[in-house]
Structures are given as C-alpha cells and as structure tokens.
Amino acid sequence: MRVFTASGLEGSTLCFRKFLGAIDTYHADVGVLLGDLTGRKIVSVIKKGSSSWEVPLDGKVHEIDSPAALAEVTAQIEDHGDYWLEQTPDEYEHLRSNPTLVELYFKSLVRERIQEWLALADDRLSAGGPPVFIAPGSGDWRIIDELFEHGGRLLPCDDRIVDVDGYQLVTSSSSGPTEWELAREMDDHDLHKKLLELCSGVDDPDFAIFNLQADSKAAQRIVKRFQPVVRVRGSLTGNGGGVSKAGRTLELSPRSAMVEDAAPALFGVLLKLENGEVQDYLFTEA
C-alpha cells in the first residue's frame, strides 16, 4: 500500500490543489491531509473608487487599477495562505480598532476557504479513486470540524480509527501544552488518557499508522506502548524531513514551509507498506 501524507498547508489554496494532484502523481492508494490547514492573517483590500483599490501587503501599499489586476493580487494572497477582505476606507479604520470584529471576520473567511476546498475536492477526486482523508491541526479553530463531517470526497479521520486496505489509520489533532495556547491543546495527563482510549481500538500494531502530530510526552508514551509500524509527526522546520525511531516504530516528519521559501510548496511523505513493514519512504516537495 502506498500512502501519501501532507501537512502544514496553512491556508494555501495553491498547496491544496497540489495535494489533490499528488494523489495521482504518486499513484497513492490512500491520501491523508493533516493540519495546520488554516492561514494566519487577513489582508485588507481597500476600495478607493469604482475600479481602484489599495492593498497593504508585505510592508507596501499596492495600487490596483483594474478588476483583472485585483483578481491577480487576491489569487496570490490565497495561494500564500492568507485571506482577503474588501472594505471601504471607513470600514478599514473601524476594523483596525475592533479586534473582536476582526476575529469574527477571520473565522468566517476560514470557514469559507475550507468550504471552497471541499467543493474543489469533490470536483477533482473521482468516486472510484483512492480514499482521501483530512484532519485539522492542533492550531486550527474547531469551527471547521463540522465541515469535514459532511465533506464529500474528503473523509474525516480526526480522533478516530479508519480501516484502509488492511491497515488502520489512527489520527488525532490534539496537542500537549505549548507556548502558543493552541485551540486543541490540553495537559499531558488528559492527552495521554485520550490517546490511550483511542489507540486501544487498534487490532494489530504491525498494521497501524499513527498520525499523532503532537510533540508531547503523552504521544511519546503512546507510541512506546503500542509500537505501530509507523508514526507521522508534525512538520519539521529545516531542509528535508525528519526521520527517527521509537523502538520498532519509524517516525517521519515532513518538512514545513519556511519564511525564506520563494513560493508556497507542498511538503509530504510517500510511504510504501507491505505485509506490516515499511518497504520504503520518500519526502516530497511540489
């Protein structure tokens, strides 16, 4: 079985399109998209006239003088994982002074982007093709979870065990304590209890893939106890990807995007499994 797993899209529509295409490119028998899925900021598109706008972006104010030019700029914003919001100058100033209102708009734009992705997946993925699963990341707002439960071609896998071609995928977006106060973090005791209950449903660890992104003592204890054939961890900053062993378990961490990267890129890992053993793996970039 060939499993293609990618993570860390952080709102990039371009990278989401690349993920959908990679399922065929790598001849995967199953695809898995893990978090973080959502972007980190809103870019204001300030309407100055009937066909003119100002866009404060990357420390500069870009003057836009046609709908075609605006479409090009907003597409670039979406490809880089950010969200854009058209506003009048008065609306722009009002929003700047109301953080609560910014969060409301932010959540609305996050949901809208995920809904667009789900529709795109329904269009691009064939009914008879390989199953493709999706799970949020520990930093993703919970407002997107309900969208995945009715996501069509993209199948939810967070906090559950799914059976694929004789293997079991065990996925959880929960995290231990962090300095960032993530939406899905909890103390290590509660996390261990949750993961223990989840992983106790595994039939045979030789045929289990753990998608536990949390870098926590609780997750380490769970891997040590159950010893799945492979664990996919969260993205790793730096060149290439990360490889380690935890007992017999092979742990793989795809590379994450870095600030100096020139363009949005999809990082993942292609895994080949046979008879409960890892035959090969390849870190990918597209």
Q: What confidence tens digit (pLDDT) does each residue in 9-53 have?
A: 999 999 999 999 999 999 999 999 998 999 999 999 999 999 999
241 and 105 fall within a common domain: no
Residue ranges of E strands in the chain: 2-6, 30-33, 42-49, 52-57, 60-64, 83-87, 132-134, 154-156, 160-164, 167-172, 208-212, 230-232, 236-237, 242-246, 249-253, 255-256, 267-274, 277-285
pTM for the complete prediction? 0.94
- Total number of domains in the chain: 2
pLDDT at residue 236 greater than cutoff 70: no
Last residue within a domain, chosen from 54, 79, 109:
109
Last residue within a domain, chosen from 109, 129, 144:
109
Q: Distance (Å, rounded) from C-alpha 162 to C-alpha 184?
A: 21
Q: Distance (Å, rounded) from C-alpha 10 to C-alpha 33?
A: 12
Instruction: Cite the DSSP H helix spans in 127-279.
Output: 145-148, 188-199, 217-226
Q: Distance (Å, rounded) from C-alpha 101 to C-alpha 192?
A: 36
Percent of the chain exceeding pLDDT 70 equals: 95
Q: Distance (Å, rounded) from C-alpha 21 to C-alpha 118?
A: 14
> 86-100 pLDDT, tens per residue?
999 999 999 989 999
Confidence of residue 261 (pLDDT cuts 50, 70, 90): low
CATH number at residue 233: 3.60.21.10
58 and 176 fall within a common domain: no
| Residue-number span of the structural domain to which 71 is assigned | 42-109
150 and 124 fall within a common domain: yes
> 126-148 pLDDT, tens per residue?
888 999 999 999 999 999 999 99
The pLDDT value given to residue 234: 72
The pLDDT value given to residue 258: 57
Residue 33 near residue 7 (C-beta atoms within 8 A): yes
Residue 231 near residue 246 (C-beta atoms within 8 A): yes
pLDDT at residue 219 greater than cutoff 70: yes
pLDDT at residue 166 greater than cutoff 70: yes
28 and 128 fall within a common domain: yes
The pLDDT value given to residue 215: 79
Residue 183 near residue 138 (C-beta atoms within 8 A): yes
Q: Distance (Å, rounded) from C-alpha 116 to C-alpha 78?
A: 11
